């Protein structure tokens, strides 16, 4: 159970503690932040409201701990990560319990998130020992005018202190996708969890604690964004920020110093459906892509662009599948669960009302109880409706009927987002042409958008982000190249 047994140290009976210097502590502020259960809409947990002084302290500790961690052999760093991964998987039940209660993720998906996270940590350890164990050797005589008098050796060195800020929808998985690459590459790590999802993160961090990482190397500060948000992202001790979330990321990128940034800020992933598509396959993928975790995924299908000639048939198939989705509590493993907060539900409702006023066809009746919104397919959506462009982050999916492939590509590319997209057709040649024309970080052919498997590169264009994630890219992003050049007094040619 959460906060008990192996996790007893992280809870004081009333509130969860924060993690600094290898210990679980109460904030000197004496204040806590409440976490509201999206289902009951009552306070479920409390976490420490850390102060700026406490942030300064973890930054100092992170800087010191990183120096000796960078001198820890790579295989030892990997060994500790493997240990943390095993502990994380062993404790999947209490962590999943927190996910269910603080972000209303369905029970089975919550377990999957923890297991996937353990696998990601192990994969990262494996990949790290390979790619960080290799460098380049260059010789000077390949560049015009040079003799072979210089040998250049390159290696990858850590950046220093990495600040990781994951979002509420994958607080554990998107935290470890930042923590594991940072650590294997020899960096230290300061984690600022989202408020909703913080307790799941604290349990996950405790698994790293139990694995025996050095004191100060990993810290986790909780609290109000207004108190420590900007303070963290603008802190001079931070050498790199890895952020996943909403447009806060744009503000962070404007305020951060001259440090590498990795950002993933959402999407409006389009699903383009051609006349020859397998409509049963499309319908299943629209359900999975549009409605899993109630549409609260940056990679969710967020607009269907279907050729008019097959639109009626597709809409009927999707409607039939929507009718089968179960709606209710995450504990019951319902397909559709309450969205994360009342403000989120209100925002979604605003998009629905706008579509109603402007004449969209409602394939189901709009229904909401508290934060629970029933799945809704909106047909005949037009570009003047907000839902055509904005991310609901909820179980509401617009269908726009198109008369040409160009119209679909144009709609996709007119979005300020460019995360992923998908195209359904049996004609692979057309699929490739469409994929090349879509201005998104990834295009899936005949499947819904998705980040995983977690070692695949994952990146967004335009307002969807900066840099590329995925295990290898994240490790590389959290290092910089260091070169040593050996200068020879006379040219030396191999076997010469
Ligand atoms: O919400 C953003 C996540 O990166 C999406 O991950 O495609 O595995 O659901 P997912």
Residue 449 CA to ligand 1 centre (angstroms): 9
Contact in structure between 61 and 21 (CB atoms under 8 Å)? yes
Alpha-carbon torsion angle 245, 247, 251, 256, nearest 10 = 30
Q: Identify the three-state secondary structure at position 383.
A: coil
CB of 170 sitting under 6 A from ligand 1: yes
* pLDDT, position 496: 78
Mean pLDDT, rounded, for 389-396:
98
| pLDDT > 90 fraction of the chain, expressed in percent and rounded | 99
Catalytic site includes residue 316 = no
Mean pLDDT, rounded, for 479-492:
98
Check residue 245 and give left, alpha or beta (phi > 0: left; psi -120 to 50: alpha). left
Q: Give the whole-angstrom CA distance, residue 300 versus residue 346.
A: 19
DSSP 227: I
Mean pLDDT, rounded, for 49-67:
98
Contact in structure between 226 and 207 (CB atoms under 8 Å)? no
Mean pLDDT, rounded, for 394-409:
98
CA atoms within 13 A on the CB side of 11: 16
pLDDT score of 303 more than 90: yes
Q: Which of 54, 113, 264, 390 is catalytic?
A: 264
CB of 401 sitting under 6 A from ligand 1: no
pLDDT score of 291 more than 90: yes
Contacts of 369 (CB under 8 A, 6+ apart): none
Q: Report pLDDT digits (tens) over 459-474.
A: 999 999 999 999 999 9
Mean pLDDT, rounded, for 412-417:
98
Q: Give the whole-angstrom CA distance, residue 104 versus residue 373.
A: 13
Contact in structure between 206 and 114 (CB atoms under 8 Å)? no
Which pLDDT band, with edges at 50, 70 and 90, does 20 fall under? very high
Q: Report pLDDT digits (tens) over 187-220.
A: 999 999 999 999 999 999 999 999 999 999 999 9
* pLDDT, position 78: 98
CB of 450 sitting under 6 A from ligand 1: yes
Q: Report pLDDT digits (tens) over 212-263.
A: 999 999 999 999 999 999 999 999 999 999 999 998 999 999 999 999 999 9
Mean pLDDT of the chain: 98
CB of 101 sitting under 6 A from ligand 1: no
Q: pTM of this prediction?
A: 0.97
Q: What residue's CA is closest to ligand 1, atom 2? A: 298
Contacts of 219 (CB under 8 A, 6+ apart): 18, 19, 20, 21, 58, 61, 62, 189, 190, 191
Strands of 322-453 (E only): list them: 361-362, 368-369, 372-373, 376-379, 396-402, 417-418, 420-424, 442-445
* pLDDT, position 150: 98
Query: Mind listing the domains of the chain with CATH numbers?
Result: 5-265 (3.40.605.10), 270-445 (3.40.309.10)
Q: Report pLDDT digits (tens) over 96-106.
A: 999 999 999 99
Measured at the CA of 124, the angle between CA 24 and CA 300, to 5 degrees, comes to 90
Contact in structure between 476 and 184 (CB atoms under 8 Å)? no
Which pLDDT band, with edges at 50, 70 and 90, does 495 fall under? confident
Mean pLDDT, rounded, for 410-414:
98
Q: Which atom of ligand 1 is nearest to the CA of 449?
A: 7
Which pLDDT band, with edges at 50, 70 and 90, does 59 fall under? very high
């Amino acid at each position: 159970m959460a906060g008990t047994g192996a996790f007893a140290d992280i809870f004081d009976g009333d509130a969860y503690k924060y993690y600094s210097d290898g210990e679980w502590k109460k904030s000197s502020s004496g204040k806590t932040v409440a976490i509201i259960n999206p289902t009951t809409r009552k306070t479920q947990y409390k976490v420490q409201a850390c102060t700026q002084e406490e942030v300064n302290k973890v930054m100092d500790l992170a800087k010191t701990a990183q120096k000796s961690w960078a001198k820890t052999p790579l295989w030892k760093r990997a060994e500790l990560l493997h240990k943390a991964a095993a502990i994380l998987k062993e404790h999947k039940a209490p962590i999943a319990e927190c996910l269910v209660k603080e972000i209303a993720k369905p029970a089975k998906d919550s377990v999957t998130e923890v297991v996937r996270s353990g696998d990601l940590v192990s994969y990262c350890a494996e990949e790290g020992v390979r790619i960080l164990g290799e460098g380049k050797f260059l010789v000077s005589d390949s560049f015009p005018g040079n003799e072979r008098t210089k040998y250049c050796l390159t290696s990858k060195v850590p950046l220093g202190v990495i600040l990781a800020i994951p979002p509420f929808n994958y607080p554990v998985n998107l935290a470890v996708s930042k923590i594991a690459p940072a650590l294997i590459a020899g960096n230290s790590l300061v984690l600022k969890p989202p408020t909703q999802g913080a307790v799941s993160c604290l349990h996950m961090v405790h698994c790293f604690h139990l694995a025996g990482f050095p004191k100060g190397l990993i810290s986790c500060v909780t609290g109000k964004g207004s108190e420590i948000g900007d303070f963290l992202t603008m802190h001079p001790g931070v050498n790199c920020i890895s952020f996943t979330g909403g447009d806060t990321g744009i503000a962070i990128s404007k305020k951060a110093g001259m440090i590498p940034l990795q950002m993933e800020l959402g999407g409006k992933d389009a699903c383009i459906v051609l006349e020859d598509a397998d409509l049963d396959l499309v319908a299943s993928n629209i359900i999975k892509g549009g409605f899993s975790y109630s549409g609260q995924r940056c990679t969710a299908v967020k607009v269907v662009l279907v050729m008019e000639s097959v639109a009626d048939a597709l809409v009927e198939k999707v409607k039939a599948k929507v009718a089968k989705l179960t709606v209710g509590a995450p504990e019951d493993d319902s397909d559709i669960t309450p969205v994360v907060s009342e403000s989120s539900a209100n925002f979604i409702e605003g998009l629905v009302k706008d579509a109603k006023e402007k004449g969209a066809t409602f394939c189901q009746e709009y229904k909401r109880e508290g934060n629970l919104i029933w799945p809704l397919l909106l047909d005949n959506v037009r570009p003047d409706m907000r839902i055509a462009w904005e991310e609901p982050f909820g179980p509401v999916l617009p269908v726009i009927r198109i008369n040409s492939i160009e119209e679909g590509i144009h709609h996709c590319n007119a979005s300020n987002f460019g995360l992923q997209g998908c195209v359904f057709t049996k004609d692979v040649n057309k699929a490739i042409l469409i994929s090349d024309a879509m201005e998104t970080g990834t295009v899936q052919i005949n499947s819904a958008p998705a980040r995983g498997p977690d070692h695949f590169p994952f990146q967004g264009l335009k307002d969807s982000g900066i840099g590329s994630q995925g295990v290898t890219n994240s490790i590389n992003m959290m290092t910089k190249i260091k070169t040593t050049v050996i200068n020879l007094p006379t040219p030396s040619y191999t076997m010469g």
